[in-house]
Amino acid sequence: MTSPPETTLTFYEDFYRTELEVWVDALTLSERFGPCLVLSETLCHPHGGGQKGDRAVLALDGEVGKRLGLEKMAIVDTRREGERIVHVLDGAADTAALEEALVGTRPFLLRLDWKFRHHQMRLHSAAHLLHCFVEKIVGESAGGPPLEFPETSDLQPEFGLNRYARKELLDAARMERVVAELNAFSAEGHSIATRADPETEGFRYWECAGWVIPCGGTHPRNTAEIGPVEATLSLKRGKTGMTFRVPAG
């Protein structure tokens, strides 16, 4: 069996698109994730760079749905496995029946879990802006030493975490100032852009108000979408952690 072609990353064309007609190129059984779909193209951003993999459903209306006794298939995660992007299915599945019904038979409608994605987008830009304002207040911009990127920048479904290797990077008073300035800036409604590096394939950047950070994730178009950020400071084990949240929505 030949390997399916590489999945087209349609989500980079428009982070706000929520539906896409796709073909199922393959059904795989991953040792780590279980049954997975490989699609011709996708709106689902795979887990990586701290961002959680997207969730979605594949609508199974028509004859295929009747044959399988399903209206839709839940995609609970999106991952990179080797060179492929795989869409992880929910629970056990009759892989032989699914492969016969889905692979190469007809196009299906992929519907993104927009609420989950949009929250990840907002958290992701909040993570970058948090770093930018920490740098502004304690880094080179403030006459201090250069500020390295966080050694960990991790997004969970409900919150994010930036952790720096530096001990006691800032205190509670400066942390309060970081959050206040970040929120005032965001409320002004600054544009956020992402772009591909024209010279390095697969390499992308996040840009906002002159700040540029290497990032291949998904982001809102404008800082006003992020909403007020809440953040708490943790100083322990020789590292500085910042846990942050954005409003649900």
**What is the per-residue pLDDT for 136?**
96
Structural domain includes residue 161: yes
Residues 75 and 155 in one domain: no
Which burial class, exposed, middle or buried, applies to 2 when counting CB atoms under 10 A from its CB (0-12, 13-18, 19+)? exposed
Report how far residue 18's alpha carbon sits from residue 216's, in angstroms, rounded to the nearest whole number. Answer: 19
Among 66, 97, 112, identify where a domain stops: 112
Domain of 200 in residue numbering reads as 117-245
Residues 95 and 126 in one domain: no
**What is the per-residue pLDDT for 2?**
54
CB 29 within 8 A of CB 35: yes
User: CB atoms < 10 A from the CB of 109, how many?
Assistant: 14
Residues 207 and 145 in one domain: yes
Structural domain includes residue 74: yes
CB 88 within 8 A of CB 56: no
Kindly give the pairing relationship between strand 108-112 and strand 56-59: antiparallel
Residue numbers in the chain where pLDDT is lower than 70: 1-5, 92-93
Structural domain includes residue 3: no
CB 128 within 8 A of CB 135: no
Residues 64 and 128 in one domain: no
Among 112, 143, 160, identify where a domain stops: 112
Residues 103 and 25 in one domain: yes
Among 81, 112, 143, identify where a domain stops: 112
Residues 149 and 170 in one domain: yes
Report how far residue 105's alpha carbon sits from residue 69's, in angstroms, rounded to the nearest whole number. Answer: 17
**Longest CA span, the chain:** 67
Residues 123 and 186 in one domain: yes
Which amino acid does the sequence have at 57? V
Residues 186 and 239 in one domain: yes
**What is the per-residue pLDDT for 1?**
45
pLDDT in tens, 85-140: 999 998 766 788 899 999 999 999 999 999 999 999 999 999 999 999 999 999 88
User: CB atoms < 10 A from the CB of 132, how many?
Assistant: 22
Structural domain includes residue 2: no
User: CB atoms < 10 A from the CB of 205, how many?
Assistant: 14
**What is the per-residue pLDDT for 236?**
87
Structural domain count of the chain: 2
CB 219 within 8 A of CB 121: yes
The CATH number of the domain holding residue 87 is: 2.40.30.130
Structural domain includes residue 1: no
Give the dihedral of Cα atoms 93, 95, 99, 102; nearest 10 deg. 0
Structural domain includes residue 38: yes
Residues 80 and 136 in one domain: no
Residues 165 and 228 in one domain: yes
| 8-state DSSP, 103 | B
**What is the per-residue pLDDT for 117?**
98
The CATH number of the domain holding residue 121 is: 3.30.980.10
Residues 100 and 178 in one domain: no
- Considering just the CA atoms, what is the radius of gyration of the chain in Å? 20
Entry pTM: 0.94
Structural domain includes residue 52: yes
How does DSSP assign 181-229, residue by residue? HHHHHHHT--B-EEEE-SSSTT-EEEEETTEEEE--S---SBGGGT---
Residues 140 and 204 in one domain: yes
